[in-house]
Amino acid sequence: MPREYVARDPKTGKRISRRKRSVKKSEGLAALSPGSGPWQRLPQREILALATGESAKLEVSADGRKLKLGRIDAIKALHKVSESDAERAYEALVDALEDDYPDVRIAALKSLPPFALRRQGILFHCLSDRLLDDEESVREEAMACLRKVAPMFPSGCEELLRRELRDVRKEHRDNAFATLNLAAKEWPEVGCLHLDEIIREDDDDLRVRGSKILRTIASRGGAEAWDLISWSLLDEEVIVRRNASKTLTILADVEPRVAAILVESSIGEDDRTIRQSVIKALKKLDIQSPRVVQMILRGAADKDLEMRRACIGQIAIILSGQELREAAGDLLKNEKDPSLKRRLKSLAMDPDFEGTEEQKNLKLAPAEYVAPEGEEEVRQAPSALREDDKHRSGRPPSEESK
């Protein structure tokens, strides 16, 4: 029996193991579910009675075991009730969100996202209260609930999210900005709405956090997003400007005209990180645009070495002939860097007049071939006919060949 083939690394000889398949996270509506658990075994007709306390316990079989499920399990399954019982289930969920026991409130928060697809009512108001809960575990579950529902119901969570973004507690503010980023991916206008308020705040931390979301809305946010980026590029806080400058390469792909305007306004920025972002965006712009050509020429004379190096590298692309030599000659007068000086000298040189003999003769037409004396006579001398040649020509063979 042939041996099974074993794949090995050609360098080390070690066996190449198969990668374990990563478990994909639930997306879309599936992400709203409370998560798998024994509650999924509950019959639909028994859920409401258990959730309201009309029934105490229910025994179900799971993996060969007998499990007793109660109110908390039923609360997690409230979103599965029939449409005829939906209103009573909504009332049971509201009661559970206001319950005295933290475990019940946590279970209700887990059930809130999928149930909100059927009824909203005052559910988001209850969620707002739970974010202010005295129990830390309840607040943590409420923050997780907010991350799920805000991208699905941005208008219903607008005021709630506005408050959480400005919460002085770090964990709440962290969660709120993560939630806003998720919502902005689905609804760019929602991101623009909140960022328009945040970038006007005096709190530097708010503006810094908000500027990180500019990349999310840059490609699909339209004119509102462009204005937000433009204002952030002028912010007094350098971190805000850095985060805003990272959107320039994105705009260069989707809105090159807008990107060219923003790059031009930021080309004189002193911060090194911002200049690097500007250079990356500048290289992606259309070099046939007159505005871009002028930016490259100005950048070639910039005080920053990296900016000059990047722009001088583009000059040979946007200019040619006498224009290129004149521009390189003007830049050479003030250039101090040795490598750039050598580069500019080569660009400013006219090979027809200042080049080597080979360069000067490169454009000349090739001379005709002149054969040496005697070679031409040898080529023209008729060669003696051999017997085969005579046979082809029709002449009779010689006596020696007979």
pLDDT value for 47 = 86
216-to-26, 219, 362 alpha-carbon distances in Å? 21, 7, 54
Query: Is the pLDDT confidence value at 374 over 90?
Result: no
pLDDT value for 355 = 54
Burial class (CB in 10 A: 0-12, 13-18, 19+), 261: middle
pTM of the predicted model as reported, rounded to 2 decimal places: 0.74
pLDDT level of residue 356 (50, 70, 90 thresholds):
low
386-to-353, 372, 380, 383, 392 alpha-carbon distances in Å? 58, 29, 18, 9, 10
Angle between helices 86-97 and 123-130 (to 10 degrees): 20
Highest mean pLDDT among 44-53, 258-267, 352-361: 258-267
User: Once rounded to an integer, what is the mean pLDDT over residues 123-151?
Assistant: 95
CA dihedral 372, 373, 379, 385 (to 10 degrees): -150
Spatial separation of the C-alpha atoms in residues 267 and 45, rounded to whole Å = 67
Query: What is the b/e burial string over 277-298, where b = at least 16 CB atoms within 10 angstroms of the residue's CB?
Result: bbbbbbebbeeeeeebbebbbe
Spatial separation of the C-alpha atoms in residues 85 and 55, rounded to whole Å = 16
* Alpha-carbon Rg for the chain in angstroms: 39
Query: Is the pLDDT confidence value at 133 over 70?
Result: yes
pLDDT tens profile 235-263:
999 999 999 999 999 999 999 999 999 99
Q: Pick the more confident residue, 178 or 11.
A: 178
